[in-house]
Amino acid sequence: MLMRRLHTITILAAASLTGLAGAVQAAEIESTLARGGRLYDNWSKELKTTRPEEPHPAYTGKAPKNSWRCTACHGWDYSGDKGAGVKGITGAKGKPEASIVAILRDKTHGYGPDKLSDKDANDLAMFVSKGQIDMSKYVDPTTNLSKGNPAKGEIYYNTLCGVCHGPDGKKVSTGMALGQASDYPAAMMHKALNGQPAEAMPMLRAFDHGISADIVAYTKSLPK
């Protein structure tokens, strides 16, 4: 009888742990938010597809080459691009993903299935709804400088970033030097959190966002 009870308890415990593990696995959305962030950055590069040749019909800014990128109109800080005269996406925080997908698919935005699959559109919508950060907490909108601690950032950079980017931030030949990129701290924050589209760059979203801000602050000291 005792052995039977112990056997029953073991089975129940195993089932409980299995259910808990499944719940934990199901609850993980940070990787999806990061992918959505990369699609927001440059969806055609992330998907390794050709961007539309014609400028986006709703774009009125001065960089039509990049007009199909979400950042071109809605900004790296998500508050809108003044040059393009388009409002940001901050008002969409917390909205149902389905309603955001509908906006992506509408005539104004034009991101049909030929550009974004249902999964792509859903991941992008999830980022818009749940993945935005309050960029003003990490980047001073007046000075356009990171609010992070550069001394801490040096430690994080040398242990997390330096292997690929090099001690001077110039090792990756396919992009601008990080000292130069530091002039765009909101863009750097976005990329630090979500990764670089179609590149094997770590995503720091799961860590305290202050770490990314510290790294961005440190890159200001790197050569351009």
Do both 142 and 175 map to the same domain? yes
Taking the C-alpha atoms of residue 145 and residue 139, their distance in angstroms, rounded to an integer, is 6
Answer yes or no: do 96 and 162 share one domain: no
Could you tell me if residue 109 is inside a domain? Answer: yes
Do residues 120 and 44 both lie within one domain? yes
Question: Can you list the residues of the chain whose pLDDT is less than 50?
Answer: 1-3, 5-24
Give a yes or no: residue 168 inside a domain.
Answer: yes
Based on the domain organization, do 124 and 148 belong to the same domain?
no
Give the number of domains in the chain.
2
- Cα–Cα dist 223/194, whole Å: 24
Query: Among the three residues 88, 110, 131, which one is the final residue of a domain in this structure?
Result: 131
Residue 179 placed within a domain: yes
pTM of the model: 0.86
Nearest-angstrom CA–CA distance, 111 and 103: 9
Asked if residue 205 and residue 127 are part of one domain, the reply reads no
For residues 37 and 130, the answer to whether their CB atoms sit within 8 Å is no
> Phi and psi at residue 129, in whole multiples of 5°?
-75, -45
Domain final residue pick, 108, 131, 154: 131
Q: Which domain holds residue 149?
A: 135-219
User: Residue 122 belongs to a domain with what CATH number?
Assistant: 1.10.760.10
Residue 135 CA to residue 157 CA, distance in Å, equals: 20
Indicate if 64 and 143 belong to the same structural domain.
no
Within-domain flag for 182? yes
pLDDT in tens, 172-181: 998 899 999 9
Residue 139: strand, helix, or coil: strand
Q: Is residue 224 part of a domain?
A: no
Co-location of 115 and 150 in the same domain: no
Query: What is the number of helices (H) and of strands (E) in the chain?
Result: 10, 4
Q: How far apart are CA 89 and CA 77, in angstroms?
A: 9
Are 79 and 156 within one domain?
no
The three-class DSSP label of residue 136 is helix
In a domain, 24, yes or no: no
| pLDDT of the residue at 156 | 99
Residue in this structure with the two tokens 């351009």, named with its chain if needed? 224
Task: Give me the phi and psi of 74, to 5 degrees please.
Answer: -100, -5
Whether residue 113 is found in the same domain as residue 168: no
At residue 87, the pLDDT reads 84
Asked whether residue 40 is assigned to any structural domain, the reply reads yes
Boundary of a domain, candidates 110, 131, 152: 131
Asked if 105 and 174 sit in the same domain, the reply is no
Segment 128-169, tens digit of pLDDT: 999 999 999 999 999 999 999 999 999 999 999 999 999 999
Give the separation between CA 95 and CA 133, rounded to whole angstroms. 15
Q: What is the pLDDT of residue 61?
A: 84
Sole residue written with tokens 């701290």: 185
Q: Are strands 139-140 and 145-146 parallel, antiparallel or unpaired?
A: antiparallel
